[in-house]
Each structure stands twice: as structure tokens, then as C-alpha cells.
Amino acid sequence: MTATFSHKRTDFPDGFLFGAATSATQIEGTAFGGAGASHWDTFALTPGNVVRAETAARACDHYHRWAEDLDLVAAAGFDAYRFSINWARLLPEGMGAPNPAAISFYDRLIDGMLERGMQPFITLYHWDLPSTLAHRGGWANRDITGWFTDYALTVQRRFGDRLASTATLNEPWCVAWLSHFLGLHAPGLRDISAAARAMHFTLTAHAEALAALRAEGAKSLGIVLNFEHIEPASPGDEGAAATEEALFNRWFAEALALGRYPAEALEGLERWLPARWQADLDTIRAPLDWLGVNYYRRALKATAPGSPWPASREVEGPLPKTTMGWEILPDGLADRLTKLAQLFPGLPLYVTENGMSANDHIHDGAVADPERIAYVDAHLAACRAAIAAGVPLKGYFYWSLMDNYEWALGYDKRFGLIHVDSESLKRTPKWSYQAFQHMLLPRTLPSR
Ligand code: FCB
């Protein structure tokens, strides 16, 4: 294993963007600056939901250390930075008057990116639903479409003049299924009817916000979906794998591209979908300016006999794994990008997240993470293979800039290019960070 990547910037098309990604709740510190409570704050304070009951109250203290963090993004040679706004920080009541401290924080943050020559890629919703809206049913209530659109317009009117790109939602599968059916993320429901409604209302909220943003003059609008390379665990498990493929990889993408939901998913969800769902699909299909692809792993699915629909379970596979237990399969990324380029002909794609967690430790002031370098190297090779096959891939964002709050798994899972000490919060760039520097510097200003 080496400490550098086998790729050069010039191996990628002109204008290809390299970036790092984070999200608000995972790094900022929700206790600071008058942020309202989000459903993640309360989920974490409820016993049994998060490992060691860790919260995002302090997180990486990015709220106070943002300038140092942006310096690190720039010094790595990145062209772009993907970050999110904490909805509950900006609008503590979920709607109505913005929090002035939040406006000034995000103003400084966005200006700080521009001063450092980095393109701001904003995500409006990376999971911090204000508690006031959670109390009203959150993503299971059709009204979220309007709440989210109003919030999106507030962001656009305050910050839109300085954004390179806006994503409505991050990973609606996690917002809906992981959080309302599997119960593993806030609000921690295990309820198929709430899950079905959230599977639909994430898309209506996306679509209505997209239309409103466009009417307001916003440019470069997209959404970020997550994909896994799903395979049957054994012969006989094809049905379970097909159902999971429909729920995870096809539901959102096909609704956006084709205005329809896959039959294999409707089989279990149709009776729980909200009234008039078919009528919404035309709006949901409205054209995007780009699609974000989050990809980490392969997942093997098996039939779960005796269990109600979708009657599937995950099975541990034989491939090398990260500390998340996620199997590493870089070819799955090339395969997914190629499929998406067929589903969305001509649409610019970005890898908006890809990365690995590892057991990283500081020795003599350095963090050696050759496995992460190898992981990224192999996924960059997959990107190049997709580009060579004609996929309009425009950029790659590593998840994550720094070790952070990995949701229900707390602070143990280290995904960062930068090590963050759990106590002192000191930032230490890892070898993988230096590998990016080596590949990306000197940074030439984008030709667009
Ligand atoms: C994705 C999330 C991101 C992070 C990574 C590991 O599903 O978007 O916030 O948790 O996984």
C-alpha cells in the first residue's frame, strides 16, 4: 500500500471538481448559537438510540472553528466544499423568523469558502428536522412539502447569490425508510404507513422546493440519493434482493427520472401511500440540473421467512470491510454511475459521498491510513472507468472532511481525512488528506 493515489488531476476531464463533504449536525455543535432543537437532538437524548448516548451538542465545534476547517479544505487543494444548513439552527421554530446568529454564521461560512476559492455546494436537508415540525408529524405529514419549500426559499433569499449549487435533500431513503421503517435514525419509528408516506413526501417536498427555487432564479439544483450494490446472498434470494433494489436503488431515482414507482416496491407500499400520490408524480419528475450519488458498499440480501413484507434481511458478505462492517466493492460505483447515466440521459452526475471509516490513531503526530487511500484510489478508478464509458460525471466529494458525529453510531466511526481528537477536538490531517494534496495541488482555478 502506498501513501499516494495512482491518479493525477489531469486524468480527469477539464473542470472536474474535487471536494470534501460534511453536514451541519455532524460537525457544528447544536448547543451553540441559538439553534432550535431538531429531532436528532431529542433522538440522541432518548436511551438506547445512539451508541453511548452520544449527542451532537458539541460535535466538532465547527461553529467556532469553521475558519480553521475551511483553511484545511483549501490547503488540501479541493475545488468545492459540500456542507449543509441545520434547518433548526436557521429556523428554530421550523418556520417564521430566522435566527440572526445563524444567518451571520452561514454568511461567514459561505463568504469564507469564496475567499478561499472554493465553490459552495449546499445541501438544504441533511436530517436536522426542527422538533416543532416533528411534533406535527414531520415527514409523514403532507404539509412538510410547504414547510420545506418555505425553508428552501429562506435559504435562497439569504445566501443564494453566493452558492455554486443547491441540493434539496440528502438521501431520502435514510430520511424515510431508515428513520420510519427500520427505526435506526430519528425519529426512530418502525411503522410501515409512516414510512410509505415519508417515501412519498420526501419527493413532493423536493419537487415543490425545486420549482420554487427555480422560480426565484436559483441555478444548479439537484438532489443527493444513496445507492448500494445489492446482490442476493444465495441462490433463492433473488426476490428479496429485487425488493431491496426497488426500495433502495430504484424508488427515488425512477420517480425522478420516469415519474413512476417500481412495482416490486409498490407491492408492499401502495396501500399505505397517501391519497393522490399518483397525481404528484408529474411534479416529482421535473428536470434536475444534476444528480448526486452517494456510494459506499455492496450489500447482500436474503429472504427472511415468516417476516412480513419486504421479508428480507442483510447477510454478512465475504469481501473486505470497513469498520462500519460495509463490504468494499469499487466496481459497484462504476456500475451504478453507468446505470444512472442511462436512466437520466445527459444529466450531470456528481459523486457527492464516498469514503470509509477506519480505526485511525495518531502516532508521532501522524495518522497512517493506507486502507483509506487504497479505498479512494479504487473508487476514483471506478469514476474514471465510468467517464471513459461516456458517463457525464462532473465531480467527486470525499465523505468526510473530518471525523464527526456518525449519527446513531456516535463518534467511534472515523470517516475523516482529518483526525479529530475526541477530547481536545484538535485536528490532525491523515495520510489520506496528504494524498489528496499531492494529487490536487497546485490548484489551478477552474476553467469554467
Ligand atoms: C451517509 C450520510 C452521511 C454519513 C455517511 C457515512 O449515509 O449521508 O451523513 O453518515 O453516510
Residue 368 has pLDDT above 60, yes or no: yes
The amino acid that residue 353 corresponds to is E
Residue 259 has pLDDT above 80, yes or no: yes
Residue 444 has pLDDT above 70, yes or no: no
Active site residue 353: yes
For the whole model, what pTM was predicted? 0.98
The amino acid that residue 350 corresponds to is Y
Residue 300 has pLDDT above 90, yes or no: yes
Q: Is residue 84 in contact with ligand 1, taking CB distance under 6 Å?
A: no
Residue nearest to atom 4 of ligand 1 (CA): 406
Q: Per-residue pLDDT averaged across 381-394, rounded?
A: 99
- Report the share of the chain in percent with pLDDT over 90: 98
Q: Per-residue pLDDT averaged across 218-244, rounded?
A: 98
**β partners of residue 227:** 295
pLDDT digit string, tens, across residues 179-202: 999 999 999 999 999 999 999 999
Residue nearest to atom 10 of ligand 1 (CA): 406
Residues 265 and 343: their CA atoms lie apart, in Å, by 18
Q: Is residue 228 in contact with ligand 1, taking CB distance under 6 Å?
A: no
The CATH number given to 9-440 is 3.20.20.80
Active site residue 28: no
Residues in the chain, overall count: 448
Number of neighbours of residue 355 by Cβ within 10 angstroms = 24
Where is pLDDT greater, at 448 or 108? 108
pLDDT band for position 443 (cuts 50, 70, 90): confident
The residues, any chain, with a CB within 8 Å of residue 11's CB and separated by 6 or more, are 384
Pocket of ligand 1, candidates 294, 350, 372: which has the most ligand atoms within 8 Å of its Cβ, to mutate? 294
Residue 448 has pLDDT above 90, yes or no: no
Q: Is residue 43 in contact with ligand 1, taking CB distance under 6 Å?
A: no
Q: Is residue 171 in contact with ligand 1, taking CB distance under 6 Å?
A: yes
| pLDDT value at residue 1 | 60
Q: Is residue 123 in contact with ligand 1, taking CB distance under 6 Å?
A: no
